[in-house]
Structure formats: C-alpha cells, structure tokens
Chains A and B, each alone.
Chain A
Amino acid sequence: MREMTYAQAIREALAEEMRRDKNVFLMGEDIAIFEGAFGVTGNLWKEFGLERVRDTPISEAAIVGAGVGAAIMGKRPVVEIMFGDFLPVGMDQIVNQAAKARYMSGGKVSVPLTIRVTTGATGAAAGHHSQSFEGWLIGIPGLKIAVPASPEDAKGLLKTAIRGEDPVIFFEHKRLYGMRGAVPEGDFTIPFGKARLVRRGKDVTLIGISGMVPTCLEAAEELQREGVDAEVIDPRTLVPLDRDLILESAVKTGRVVVVQEAHSRGGAAAEIAALIAEHAMDWMNAPILRVGARNVPIPYSPVLEQEVLPGKEDIIAAVRKLF
C-alpha cells in the first residue's frame, strides 16, 4: 500500500471532499496563502480558490460562529483553529451554539460543521501552544470528538466528519503530522465509535489517546522484553466511544492503563477508567490506572516540560505497578 504522512492524509481528505461536494469549504487563520501554520492545507487554495479556502481574521468566535450559521444554511464548513489552546476563545460558539442547535430546536436543524484543531505539545512551546483539550469537550452533548492517531485514520475519520450531520471537533496531534503510514487508495471512510486494536496482547490493556498511541506501542515493545504482553487500543473517537472493544479487552487482560497527554485530572482517561470500573470491575486483577500530564500548565523549559508530560517510561512504570 502507498504511504503518506498524517498531514498529507488530512489534506487529501479535504481535497477529495471539496471535489465531491461543492458545499464543502475551508475557513481559518492563515490556511490559504500562508498554506496553514503547520502546512496542512498547503496549496489547496490554488485548486479551489480563495472563496472556498478562506483566510480569516484572528477571530475564533466568528470563525466557529460563522461556521455554525453557514452549516445551518446547508453548507459543510471545515474550520481550522490553529492551536487547540485557542479553542476557549471560540468556546461559546462551540458549546452553546454548535452543540445545542439540533437538540434545542427539537431536532429540526443540522449543524454539519467540522472544527479541525491541532492539539498536544511539540516541545518548548509553553502553556498557550501545548495543551490537549479533548477532555473538556467530551462532556458537551451534541459534539462528536475525533482523535485520530494514524494517517489512515486521519483521512477516513475526517471524511466521516465532513459527511456527517453533526458538529465534530477533530483533534490533530501536531507531533503526528510527520508520521508516515499506509493509506488505502481511493475513497474510504472510517466510522465513528469503532476503536482500533493496534496491538494484540493478553496481560495488560493500554488505551492510548491521540498522540499517546505511538507512545503506548513503544512501551508495549519494551514491556514485551520484560515478558509482559500488552494489548494497545486506540479509541479513535471519544464521542461516540467504542465501549464494546474497550470492555472486551479489559475483561480479557484484567489490567488497564489509560494514557492521555492531557492533564490527568478530569480528562478522557478518567472517563474511560470509570466506564471500566462500572462495567468490568469483577474482572479486574489490579486497579485501573491513568497516565497523563502532571496537573500544572505546560512549561517552556524542555527539562520542565519533559517532567510534566507523560512518556513511555511513565506508562511502563504504571504497568509494573499492576503485577
């Protein structure tokens, strides 16, 4: 199969969906002439023009809110928020407007809006350019939350997001943009709510979110040398969440570590751990553990940052506690 990067896979999904449906258009800060702060949109503006690949003012509330209005009127906007850290600037439009329009109107309107947003730390970017906010947003009914961790998933999930009828927050991990992987030729989609079994194992289940999926795999390889056979699961979407695969794996191994880059307090990992505690406690041979960032703002100094962010060694240390 052909290989491409995560960023190229996203760009290909955007291009294909724009060719397929003239209602799809892109809007965001520096996405056209500058070709995207991380180069994801690239030269799409040359094919689709500056109307459909639209540079905006630095106005997150207006970007998201205009996306809501255009979506209600039948367009399929894909808006880009340059850094996940900027989501709070547009949060009313996400939480109170986009998420609630369908339900509060008695189901009479759809908001087919995709909000692409970068997430995670890439090193020495400090507390306004390094955060992971997916855990905040899983608590908002009406939003769907995608956290792709491979080029194939990024492409397939983005197409599902764009074709769907509900607002999606699509978290793209900045550290994964350069990751290469096999991506099938032609048109394909990946459904929401179906987790990916990344590595089969029998002794412990590692559930990795977004950028932590490759880190979980590295930890699993190292644990193998210690004689621990780890299973790795990537939920792919947090809302909806594939409860079946998660619980099946938890029941099989009896030991679970949930790993996220977001601050460990109040995040998606806590939610998944609670799910397992509620439904699979009798099969657990050890406490369900979470690994996440220490609960301080992400610091600038590489030494401090490394101390705060979770890594392979933290996962391995957590697994060792379970045996």
Chain B
Amino acid sequence: MANYKKFFVLDVYRRIYLVREFELRAIEERRRGLIPGFIHSCVGEEATAVGACLALHQDDVITSTHRGHGHLLAKGGDPKYMMAELAARSSGYCKGRGGSLHIADFDLGILGANGIVGGGIPAAVGAALAFSLRKEKRVALSFFGDGATNQGSFHEAANMAGLWKLPVIFFCENNLYGEGTPQSKQAPLCDLAKRAESFCFPGVIVDGNDPLAVYEATREAVERARAGEGPTFIEGKTYRFRGHYEGDPQVYRIPGELEEWQARDPIPTFRQRLIEQWSIAEDEIKQVEDSVQQQLNEAVAYASSAPIPQEEEALEGVYADIHGGKVF
C-alpha cells in the first residue's frame, strides 16, 4: 500500500473530496431552490465510487443507480453539466429531461444513473456481451446497492454473466439500508458477496470506506475480466450518512450506528493518511481542496445561468426519426 506515489494518493483524495463536496453543494442548492427534483446523496460512500472507477479505462463502461453522483464524477463526469442537469437546464447532461436519476455520458462510458433499483444491471451484462462478441478487451462495471441484490434483475443478469463468463464486475455498495429499511430486514444474509457463489464466480468483500482497498479489489476483478475469466462480485461495506433522499425523516435508523460510522468517515480518514503515511503537507492538501471548491463554484455559477428548456423541446428526441409534434 505504501508503494503508491504521492501524486496518485493526492489525486485519489481530490476525487473523493470532489464527490463529497459536490453532494453537499447539491443539497445546499436544492434547499436554495436551484434544483427542483429529488436528490439521493452518496455522502459517506465516496470511496467505493472513486476506488472502483480508478481501476477502469475511459472506454470501459459503468451503469449506475439512483445514488449515482459519485459514480458519474468518478468516471469523469463534469460537475458543470451535472449541476446544470440537476438544475433542469438545457445545457445539462440530458438537456433537463433526466435530472439526477438519469444522468448519462456515453463518451465517458457512463451508461446512465437509473430510477429503478437493479434496473441497470442487465444493461451492463449486455455491454459486456457486446465487448465479448467483438473480442474487445473492455469491461463493464455495474454499481448497485444492497437492496438491488434482492431484485430479480440482479439474479438473472448475474446468472447470465456467470454462464457466459462475460467481462463484467458486479459492484455492490452495501450501505446497510435499502431505501427506508435496514439491510438485515431485507435479506437472510449480511455478507452479500456470498451470493456470487451460486453463479460460480468470485465474491470479494472489501472495506468500502478505503478508496485504495476498493481500487485494488476492483483492479484484480478487471484483470480477471480482461483475461476472459469472467465476472467478479465485489461488496464494498460502507454506510449512507444521509437519508434515502434529501428530506427523509430517517425514523428507521438504528441508534448509535451513524456516529459509529462517522468515526470512519472516508474523507477525513484518508486525509489523515495523506499526512501520516505519505507525509503530505497540510498546505498541499488545502490547495487541492481549494481547487475543488473553485471547480464547484464554477459548476454552480454555470448551472444558475444555464438556459431553461423551451417548451417545444419537450417533444424532441423520443425517436430517431419521428420529430416534435409528429409523435403520436
């Protein structure tokens, strides 16, 4: 672990810090009225998104979830266009038609966030099938939560991927809650990586709050996939610091649990490691943080002044060849 170069770990920190601060900024801007819709924030879960995407190439693809901002940023999504999409503007990633739950950037290999729990997993398997048919060395990684492992779509997709040994990584962020119900009340097991056994591929458990541990586990899975050895299931044990959605009263949260996990908050924990393990100066870290804050100031400014969609834009883009009012 100590072999990592200083610039690398500082960049890892920049990425997890960006995800955290993007979320806090989005929550704030929603409160102020810039963002009209839902936000399902990933505060507390930055290390899984960043660690996993670090192991991917740009032409590898991911599918994401309703809690997807971290995945999108980690795969290279631009905070400007993300914030503009959250603000429902024409220059947002989806021209204001998708919002938080549908952000996609196909050039970056982001096949989309998803409003349906487990909805994106089969598409990742399909992308991996396309790579396999074309004999490309690309991989697909599907992010999903613990709740999605109770969906049929997960089991169908994992079975198919195991059967065909497709280059896909099933990345489960086990944040201990599926919407408003604890994971322990939703499934008869708590180590979800065990589910992989029934599909005959490895299931790995990793500390989901440690970006480097996540990176290493994912790198190994990616190598296996590229070598034609098939899928891996990675379970990142982590915790959702905020509600299922912003505004969630969280009556279901187990007392004391949040405080316990906050002591292992991935951001300050990794920051401290930069200082202790890599002897990085406080000033240098501060510089990185300032540049992220600057980037987010620009993103919010961009979103605030971005054009609001014209009414007629509502009818465009349903089909490739049927336009506007001709949609029937």
The answer to whether A and B belong to the same complex is yes
Binding site for B on A (CB under 8 A): 25, 51-52, 56-57, 59-62, 64-75, 77, 92-93, 96-97, 100-110, 141-142, 144, 164-166, 193, 239-241, 243
A74–B63 CA distance with the chains assembled, in angstroms: 16
- Quick check: B97 and A59 within 8 Å, CB to CB? no
Docked Cα-Cα span, A110 to B29, in Å, equals 32
The answer, among B121, B128, B318, B321, for a CB contact under 8 Å with A164, is: B321
Q: Please name all residues of chain A whose beta carbon is closer than 8 Å to the beta carbon of B321 when the two chains form the complex.
A: 164-166
CB-based contact A96/B122 at 8 Å: no
Q: Do B317 and A107 touch across chains, with their CB atoms under 8 A apart?
A: yes
Partner-contacting stretch, out of B9-17, B34-42, B151-159, B259-267: B151-159
Instruction: Find A166's partner among B97, B126, B320 (CB 8 Å cutoff).
Output: B320
Do A243 and B328 touch across chains, with their CB atoms under 8 A apart?
yes
Contacts of A106 in B (CB 8 A): 92-98, 317
Cβ B122 vs Cβ A65 within 8 A: yes
Complex: A54 Cα to B264 Cα, angstroms: 47
Interface residues of B in 170-222 (CB under 8 A from A): none
What residue of chain B has the Cβ atom nearest to residue A74's Cβ? B130
Q: Chain A residues with Cβ under 8 A from B129's Cβ?
A: 66, 69-70, 75
Contact B126 A141 (CB under 8 A): no
Quick check: B163 and A57 within 8 Å, CB to CB?
A: yes
Q: Which chain B positions have C-beta within 8 A of A77?
A: 126
B127 touches A73 (CB 8 A): yes
A103 to B321, CA, bound (A): 13
**Quick check: is B319 within 8 A (CB to CB) of the other chain?**
yes
B278 on the interface (CB 8 Å rule)? no
Smallest Cβ-Cβ distance to B85: which chain A residue: A106
- Closest chain-B Cβ to A160's Cβ sits at a distance in Å of 10
Q: Are A75 and B133 in contact (CB under 8 A)?
A: yes
Of all A-B residue pairs in the complex, the 6 with the closest CB atoms, nearest first, are A65-B122, A69-B126, A69-B123, A107-B317, A66-B126, A165-B320
Q: Are A65 and B121 in contact (CB under 8 A)?
A: yes
Assess whether A104 is in contact with B318, with CB atoms less than 8 Å apart. no
Tell which of B102, B126, B130, B152 has the most Cβ of chain A within 10 Å: B126
- A57-B159, A69-B124, A69-B127 given as contacts; is B153 within 8 A of A62 (CB)? yes
- Taking A69-B122, A102-B318 as given, write out 19 further A-B residue pairs in contact, using a Cβ cutoff of 8 Å, ordered by the A residue number: A25-B133, A59-B159, A62-B156, A65-B122, A66-B157, A69-B126, A74-B130, A92-B119, A92-B153, A93-B122, A96-B116, A100-B102, A102-B317, A105-B93, A106-B96, A107-B95, A107-B317, A108-B94, A165-B321
Q: Which residues of A contact B106 (CB under 8 A)?
A: 72, 105, 108-109
Contact across chains for A66 and B327 when beta carbons are under 8 A apart: no
B123 touches A68 (CB 8 A): yes
Nearest residue in A to B103 (C-beta to C-beta)? Answer: A105
Please report the C-alpha to C-alpha distance between residue A142 and residue B114 in the assembled complex, in whole angstroms: 17
Chain A residues near B94: list those with CB within 8 A. 104-106, 108
Q: Is the CB of B130 within 8 A of A104?
A: no
Task: Please judge, given known A-B contacts A69-B140, A72-B111, A141-B318, whether A61 and B122 are in contact too, CB under 8 Å.
Answer: yes
- Chain B nearest CB, measured from A4 CB (Å): 29
Say if the beta carbon of B282 comes within 8 Å of chain A: no
User: Closest chain B residue to A65 by CB distance?
Assistant: B122
B241 at the interface (CB under 8 A from A): no
Q: Complex: how many Å from CA A100 to CA B94?
A: 12
Chain B residue contacts of A57, Cβ below 8 A: 156, 159-160, 163
Within 8 A of A (CB), among B277-328: 316-322, 326-328
Which residues of chain B from 103 to 127 have a CB within 8 Å of any chain A CB? 104-106, 111-112, 114-116, 119-127
Known: A65-B125, A68-B123. Contact between A105 and B104, CB under 8 A? yes
Find A66's partner among B98, B105, B123, B322 (CB 8 Å cutoff).
B123
CB contacts (< 8 Å) of A108 on chain B: these are 94, 104-106
Among residues of B, the one whose C-beta sits closest to the C-beta of A62 is B156
Checking A109, A141, A165 against B327 with a beta-carbon cut-off of 8 angstroms, the contacting residue is A141
B153's partner among A25, A61, A103, A164 (CB-CB below 8 A) is: A61
15 contacts between A and B (CB under 8 A): A57-B160, A57-B163, A60-B156, A62-B122, A65-B125, A69-B129, A70-B126, A75-B129, A93-B153, A96-B119, A97-B123, A104-B104, A105-B112, A166-B319, A166-B320
A92 and B116 within 8 A (CB): yes
CB-CB under 8 A from B326, the residues of chain A are: 240
Cβ contact within 8 Å between A64 and B122: yes
Most chain B beta-carbon contacts within 10 A, residue among A102, A103, A240 = A103
- Contact of B131 with A by CB under 8 A: yes
Residue of A at shortest CB range from B99?
A104
Is the beta-carbon distance between B112 and A101 smaller than 8 angstroms? yes
Task: Judge if B61 is at the interface, Cβ distance under 8 Å.
Answer: yes
Complex CA–CA separation, A241 to B326 (angstroms): 10
Give Cα distance in the complex from A73 to B163, angstroms.
Answer: 21
Closest Cβ of chain B: how far from A157's Cβ, in Å?
15
How far does the Cβ of A141 sit from chain B's closest Cβ, in whole Å? 5
Chain B residues with CB under 8 A of A75:
129-130, 133
**Cα distance, A107 to B313, chains bound together (Å):** 11
